[in-house]
C-alpha cells in the first residue's frame, strides 16, 4: 500500500486510492506553487503543504460540504495551505497540479477540471492525474488530446505479481505550450414560466446541466405565490425554480442557497441576466438563512444519495427558516422517507403524484 500520510501530521482518514497514487507521484516532482483537487478530504494538499513548508498549496473544492469536512480533519491546518471553495480553479500560475479522479465521475466535469489545471499551469509545470481504474483508457485519451506527452505511472506494487492487484493508474503531463483552444463547458438554458421566457445557466457539476430538470418544472407548476411572499429555494442547483418564482412578482422575495459553488455562481448570474433584484443567492452548507423564522414557503428538490442525510438537512433547514404556519413543498421520486419522517415535526403532511414524481407538502406547526 502506498504511504500517503504526511510525516508531521497524523491523518485521521486515509486518502482514497486515486488521491493516494496522485500524491505518491507528486512527491517525486518539484513544485512550490501547487494546486490540488480531491476525491476525499484534500489529503494530498495537506501532505504536500506539510512536506514543503516553503511552498504555497491551494486545495480547490467545488462543494462546501466537502470543504468543511476537510477543514475539520486538519488539526491544525498547515499555514501554507489555502482552501478555496469557488466555481473555478483559483488562478495560477502553478508549477504542479494534482488531480485525483473517480471512474464514476461526471465526464464533462472531469474534462473541465483537467482543462483548468492545464490552463493554470506555467510553461514547464506538470499535471498529475490519477484515476481509480487500473485499466483506464479514457483519461489517457483525454490527456493525449492536449497534444502534450503523457507519461504513465502505474502503482508501485503493480510490477510485482505477488503484490496486491493494482487499483489505480496515474499520468504526468508537462505543459510545453498554451492550449490552442479553451472550451467553454457552460450552457444557457431558456425556459418559459407563466408566459415569461427566462434564461438559466448551467455548468458541469451543477444539477441539472444543459436542461431544466423535470422536478423543477413540477415545483413551479405546483406553486402560486401571493404578493410579498418570502420564499426559500433550498439546494437551488442552477436556480430555475428560484428564477421562475422571483419573476412572477417583484414584491416576492426569494432567497436561494446551495453548497455547490458553481450552482451559486449560475443562479447569481441568472438573477442579474433576467433582471431579478428580488432574488438573492448564498453559498451555504448548513442551511442557515437570513432572518430565520420569517419565511413563508420553502421549496426543495433534495438529492437521493447519502441515505437521505441531505434530505434531512434540507427539511430541518426549512423548519428553522419558516414562520409558524409556513409551508414546505418537496418534490421527489422516493416519497416513503418523507411520509414516514415529516409527521414527527410537521403537520398537515400531504402527498400528490404527478407523472412519476411526488409532491410532498407539510406545514410548520405554530
CB of 314 closer than 8 Å to CB of 234: yes
Distance between CA 86 and CA 259 in Å, rounded?
A: 11
Average pLDDT by consecutive 10-residue portion of the chain (366 residues)?
A: 40 86 98 98 97 98 97 93 98 98 97 98 98 98 97 80 83 97 97 97 95 96 97 97 98 98 98 98 97 98 88 97 98 96 98 97 96
Dmax (CA) for the chain in angstroms is: 72
Distance between CA 195 and CA 180 in Å, rounded?
A: 42
Element (H, E) at 258: strand 253-258
Phi/psi of residue 222, nearest 5 degrees: -85, -10
Grid cell in block for residue 198? 427566462
H helices of the chain, in order, are 17-26, 43-51, 64-73, 107-120, 138-144, 214-222, 240-248, 261-273, 309-321, 336-341
The pLDDT score that the predictor gives to residue 165 is: 87
Residues 145 and 117 in one domain: yes
The pLDDT score that the predictor gives to residue 7 is: 37
Look at residue 1 and tell me if it is in a domain: no
Query: What does each C-alpha distance from 170 to 25, 40, 166 come to in angstroms?
Result: 8, 17, 11
Q: How far is CA 49 from its chain centroid? A: 24
What is the number of domains present in the chain? 2
Domain boundary among 174, 202, 219: 174
Domain boundary among 115, 148, 174: 174
3-state secondary structure of 365: coil
Residue 216 lies in domain: 187-363
Residues 137 and 248 in one domain: no
CB of 22 closer than 8 Å to CB of 99: yes
Distance between CA 49 and CA 51 in Å, rounded?
A: 6
What CATH number is associated with residue 162?
A: 3.40.50.150
Look at residue 241 and tell me if it is in a domain: yes
Strands 94-101 and 121-131: parallel
Domain boundary among 125, 151, 174: 174
The pTM assigned to this predicted structure is 0.93
Look at residue 7 and tell me if it is in a domain: no
Look at residue 229 and tell me if it is in a domain: yes
Residues 280 and 320 in one domain: yes
Distance between CA 70 and CA 73 in Å, rounded?
A: 5
Look at residue 96 and tell me if it is in a domain: yes
Residues 282 and 156 in one domain: no
Residues 319 and 346 in one domain: yes
The pLDDT score that the predictor gives to residue 117 is: 98
Query: What does each C-alpha distance from 81 to 41, 57, 109, 282 come to in angstroms?
Result: 13, 5, 24, 25
Grid cell in block for residue 237? 442547483
Look at residue 273 and tell me if it is in a domain: yes
Residues 278 and 236 in one domain: yes
Look at residue 31 and tell me if it is in a domain: yes
Distance between CA 329 and CA 349 in Å, rounded?
A: 10
Query: What does each C-alpha distance from 215 to 94, 160, 203, 253 come to in angstroms?
Result: 41, 51, 18, 22
Cis peptide before 93 (omega within 30 of 0): yes
Residues 40 and 63 in one domain: yes
Amino acid at each position: 500500500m502506498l504511504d500517503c500520510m504526511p510525516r508531521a501530521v497524523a491523518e485521521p482518514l486515509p486518502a482514497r486510492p486515486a488521491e493516494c497514487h496522485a500524491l505518491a507521484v507528486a512527491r517525486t516532482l518539484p513544485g512550490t506553487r501547487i494546486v490540488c483537487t480531491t476525491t476525499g478530504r484534500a489529503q494530498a494538499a495537506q501532505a504536500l503543504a506539510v512536506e514543503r513548508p516553503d511552498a504555497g498549496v491551494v486545495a480547490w473544492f467545488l462543494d462546501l460540504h466537502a470543504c468543511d469536512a476537510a477543514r475539520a480533519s486538519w488539526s491544525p491546518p498547515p499555514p501554507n495551505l489555502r482552501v478555496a471553495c469557488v466555481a473555478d480553479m483559483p488562478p495560477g500560475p502553478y508549477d504542479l497540479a494534482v488531480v485525483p479522479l473517480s471512474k464514476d465521475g461526471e465526464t464533462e466535469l472531469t474534462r473541465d477540471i483537467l482543462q483548468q489545471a492545464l490552463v493554470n499551469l506555467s510553461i514547464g509545470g506538470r499535471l498529475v492525474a490519477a484515476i481509480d481504474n487500473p485499466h483506464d483508457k479514457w483519461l489517457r485519451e483525454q490527456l493525449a488530446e492536449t497534444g502534450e506527452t503523457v507519461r504513465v505511472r502505474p502503482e508501485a506494487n503493480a510490477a510485482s505479481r505477488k503484490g496486491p492487484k493494482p487499483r489505480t493508474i496515474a499520468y504526468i503531463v508537462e505543459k510545453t505550450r498554451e492550449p490552442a483552444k479553451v472550451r467553454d463547458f457552460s450552457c444557457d438554458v431558456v425556459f418559459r414560466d407563466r408566459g415569461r421566457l427566462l434564461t438559466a445557466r448551467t455548468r458541469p457539476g451543477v444539477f441539472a446541466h444543459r436542461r431544466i430538470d423535470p422536478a423543477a418544472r413540477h415545483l413551479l407548476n405546483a406553486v402560486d405565490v401571493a404578493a410579498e411572499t418570502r420564499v426559500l429555494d433550498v439546494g437551488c442547483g442552477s436556480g430555475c425554480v428560484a428564477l421562475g418564482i422571483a419573476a412572477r412578482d417583484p414584491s416576492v422575495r426569494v432567497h436561494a442557497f446551495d453548497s455547490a459553488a458553481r450552482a451559486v455562481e449560475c443562479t447569481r448570474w441568472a438573477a442579474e441576466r433576467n433582471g431579478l433584484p428580488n432574488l438573492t443567492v448564498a453559498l451555504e452548507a448548513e442551511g442557515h438563512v437570513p432572518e430565520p423564522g420569517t419565511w413563508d414557503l420553502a421549496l426543495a428538490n433534495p438529492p437521493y444519495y447519502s441515505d437521505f442525510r441531505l434530505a434531512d438537512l434540507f427539511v430541518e433547514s426549512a423548519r428553522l427558516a419558516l414562520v409558524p404556519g409556513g409551508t414546505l413543498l418537496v418534490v421527489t421520486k422516493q416519497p416513503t422517507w418523507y411520509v414516514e419522517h415529516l409527521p414527527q415535526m410537521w403537520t398537515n403532511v400531504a402527498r400528490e403524484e404527478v407523472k412519476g414524481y411526488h409532491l410532498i407538502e407539510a406545514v410548520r406547526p405554530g
